[in-house]
Amino acid sequence: MLILLEPGVGEAVAADLTARLRMFGLAVHRTSHEGQIRIAAMGDRAAAVDWDEVGNWAGVESLRRIPVPFKLVSRVYHPDDTQISVGRCAVGGVQLSLIAGPCSVEGEEQAFTIAAAVAKAGATALRGGAYKPRTSPYSFRGLGEEGLKILRRAADAHGLAVVSEVLDTELVPLVARYADVLQIGARNMQNFALLRAVGHADKPVLLKRGLAATIEEWLMSAEHVVSQGNSQVILCERGIRTFETYTRNTLDLNAIPVVKELSHLPVIVDPSHGTGIRNKVAPMARAGIAAGADGLIIEVHHDPDHAMSDGAQSLYPAQFEELVGQIRTIAEAIGRRV
């Protein structure tokens, strides 16, 4: 249930209402819109609450049911766009977030070379995997903590934030020590223990859509994170698995305006995994921004033919720089900026 408080209600009244709702055994979350405090109270015991009585409590203006299962990430609960600070960019604001870098951190020279190139082109954050989920157990699986250290130093040297994937609950504190954003990969989108763990972390979470997840399932995964107290979730459309075989995945750009209507969370696009083909990345990146995405996450490698993972979908630095120029033009046309 969503409880809208009367305009001008003081903090003491709001705190008392929150405490009384928690005494019913409910989970209580709070936001505001246009100066009005909004309290969401949810849980298994909500059906036993006399909501008519709650509606008569001092300070309560009205009650409203949240008609979607993803309560806290919905615009019913929080009508305003959420903006999440990542380095020098507020993801979800006017400026587009451009996250770029290698699929995997392979070594110091590689990471520093790519960091310098993407920073020069206009990237706001450096991506790179230190722990890699791979289909084959014999493929390169990352450098672990040493990779995180390299990534952090390379990013700091060029004024970039760090985005890196976390694979399991035990790794959350370690990755959070080095990364500014904790990425949850497509395969882990419904790893609920991991979602709860990053929900307790004081770091933004980049949540990729699952391989065959519906939009509602994706938003419900975000709900798991937000329900634990971490409202800093960035959604990432990275393509879904369909019957099409000419591309690695099918990049669902429909999801951008749909999610923007349903949720207040920022949405970025991953055209690298969405297509899996280098010369298809730029057109889909341009389309994603035109469709309303708040940013891009793109794989870039200075020597993709010898990359240890995802070389075929990685842009050369010069291609990324050209793409940023194209994105800048599109952004200006739709009231955004790079």
What average pLDDT is seen over the chain? Answer: 95
Residues 264 and 318 placed together within one structural domain of the fold: yes
Q: What is the CA radius of gyration of the chain?
A: 21
Residues 161 and 294 placed together within one structural domain of the fold: yes
In sequence order, what are the beta bridge partners of 162? Answer: 126
Residues 150 and 284 placed together within one structural domain of the fold: yes
Q: Where are the beta strands (DSSP E) in 53-152?
A: 60-64, 84-86, 89-91, 97-101, 125-127
275 touches 248 (CB < 8 A): yes
Examine residue 72 and state whether it is found in any structural domain, yes or no: no
Residues 196 and 52 placed together within one structural domain of the fold: no
Coil, strand, or helix at residue 125? strand
* Per-residue pLDDT reduced to its tens digit, 164-186: 999 999 999 999 999 999 999 99
Examine residue 328 and state whether it is found in any structural domain, yes or no: yes
How far apart, in whole angstroms, are the C-alpha atoms of residue 84 and residue 204?
A: 7
Residues 292 and 261 placed together within one structural domain of the fold: yes
Examine residue 78 and state whether it is found in any structural domain, yes or no: no
* Per-residue pLDDT reduced to its tens digit, 93-103: 999 999 999 99
At residue 260, the pLDDT reads 98
How far apart, in whole angstroms, are the C-alpha atoms of residue 278 and residue 337?
A: 25
Q: Does residue 203 register a pLDDT over 90? A: yes
Please state the pTM of the whole predicted model.
0.95
Residues 99 and 22 placed together within one structural domain of the fold: no
User: Judging by beta carbons within 10 Å of its beta carbon (0-12, 13-18, 19+), is residue 13 exposed, middle or buried?
Assistant: middle
* Per-residue pLDDT reduced to its tens digit, 236-295: 999 999 999 999 999 999 999 999 999 999 999 999 999 999 999 999 999 999 999 999
What are the structure tokens assigned to 277, written together? 């083909």
Range of the domain at 41: 2-64
Residues 197 and 239 placed together within one structural domain of the fold: yes
Coil, strand, or helix at residue 91? strand
Residues 34 and 163 placed together within one structural domain of the fold: no
Distance of CA 174 to the CA centre of its chain: 19
Examine residue 36 and state whether it is found in any structural domain, yes or no: yes
Identify the CATH number of the domain in which residue 16 sits. 3.30.70.1140
What's the CA angle centered on 168, arms 166 and 171, to 5 degrees?
Answer: 65
What are the structure tokens assigned to 111, written together? 């990471």
Q: How confident is the model at residue 141 (pLDDT cuts 50, 70, 90)?
A: confident
* Per-residue pLDDT reduced to its tens digit, 15-49: 999 999 999 999 999 999 998 999 999 999 999 99
Residues 255 and 127 placed together within one structural domain of the fold: yes
Examine residue 69 and state whether it is found in any structural domain, yes or no: no
What are the structure tokens assigned to 195, written together? 């979602």
Examine residue 76 and state whether it is found in any structural domain, yes or no: no
Identify the CATH number of the domain in which residue 195 sits. 3.20.20.70
Residues 44 and 146 placed together within one structural domain of the fold: no
CA distances to 32, 102, 113, 148 from 154, in Å: 39, 12, 8, 10
Examine residue 77 and state whether it is found in any structural domain, yes or no: no
Residues 43 and 180 placed together within one structural domain of the fold: no
What are the structure tokens assigned to 318, written together? 């010069």
Split into its structural domains, the chain has a count of 2
Lowest mean pLDDT among 54-58, 113-117, 136-140, 311-315: 136-140
Examine residue 75 and state whether it is found in any structural domain, yes or no: no
Nearest to 112 by CA among 161, 80, 85, 151: 151
At residue 137, the pLDDT reads 83
Residues 46 and 184 placed together within one structural domain of the fold: no
